[in-house]
Structure 1
Amino acid sequence: MTDPDTAPDRKGYRRVLLKLGGEMFGGGRVGLDPDVVQMVAEQIAEVVSEGVQVAVVIGGGNFFRGAELEERGMERARSDYMGMLGTVMNSLALQDFLQKQGIDTRVQTAITMGQVAEPYLPLRAKRHLEKGRVVIFGAGMGMPYFSTDTTAAQRALEIGAEVVLMAKAVDGVYNADPREDPDATMFTEITHREALERGLKVADATAFSLCMDNQMPMLVFNLLTKGNIARAVAGEEIGTLVRS
């Protein structure tokens, strides 16, 4: 809800970390929706062809959600590891669709699985990005109790990304749930601290705190609008910019 006449100009980005929710990959169902994965791959390929360096973190909620399994009696650590494997399945699917777009892609995982992916090595990830390859980070942090939102913030910092692009199924950050409140208003810009204090459900508190402490901006935007990844990296006025 920043006044557009006083809001500071946004800028384009050269290296970004794109965070994708696993639920979106499933199209609202369990498993993968090939049409959604294809759409995401096409949007990523568009910006990579323009010279933007793109790294990706994907959730695994279309296969498993650790917190929900815990509610049904499963040990939290074990259920989180199952969720990590779900993120690897999503990562391999996106890699395949990107390769079909002619985009060289590498998957790096925090849990060693050498037959399907490289181990997570930040210096190697940077070299891949510099060579124009997309790098997809799978298996979360490799440890239970950490969300893929937190993974996205940590990986963005470690590879030197300029922004975390939080791809959602809504246009940005609202002061209330727009699906339940027709009077909900979208912010054009908000600080990390204000988002935390308001309890806005855009990313978990650990991810917000990590970004706030390290001055990492976060742009929340609607992935389902075609061309929005390109608009986001170009610095166009879409979504909600969260920064210190």
Structure 2
Amino acid sequence: MRVKVSSMFIVAITLFFVGIGMFLMLYIKGEALLPHDAVFVPKGDVKIDEYTKITPQNFQELFEIKEILAAAVNPNMVTPDNLKGILNKTMVLPLYPKDYLTLNHVRDSNLVPNKDEIEYPIPPTWLEVTDFTVRAGDETEVWLTPSEKVKNFYIAKAQGLGQTMGSVPDLPERPLTTPLFTGLRLRYVVDGANRMVKNTKEGDDRAESTGKPAEVKLNMTTKQFAQLKNAVEEGYKILIVSKGL
């Protein structure tokens, strides 16, 4: 009986120390034993600025992999699985050293304002709309068209000079035969039914016009917006035309 009790005591002591050892191993190296996933951080602890374009060629120069617990990875973090979704896009938020790269840091390059541009809202009342087929991301031309107010002003001015007819002049600051601005990108357009309008990847959504849009935003400089606003206040309307259409 004494031998049997001694054997059980030895087994119990052995299991106790094995348990303590496993506990210490899990406590000390527990995180290393849990599932991990790869995310991306700035390479070499260098800040990545706004307006940096991310391409397949420069990605490895800008970012490096960091392993973190899989449970800590949220759907917005960029991982090897969703990496293709950010390539050829532009940073719209700076990424600081040791911060994780997320989908929120980037946007399609054709929607990102240049450094000297702002996303300016264009009131629908400024627009002379006949068939609005411009889509978010389009490179556009902005044309001026004189309203009846402007036409009547020049008719009255001509009559005051004894002339029978008066036409709206084509001035450098108020051109009518050439665009006022070219190369402006449309950032945002909402149709009359309050739906965001954008290009489709398949087919052609321009077959149906937007009608008169409820909201429009153009990427413009402060100087350009001021020039456009002054023209509208003088009585001109504007046409936004997709470049090349």
TM-score normalised by L of structure 1: 0.19
More helix by share: 1
- Quick one: higher RCO (CA 8 Å, sep 6+), 1 or 2? 1
Larger Rg: 2
More strand by share: 2
TM-score normalised by L of structure 2: 0.19
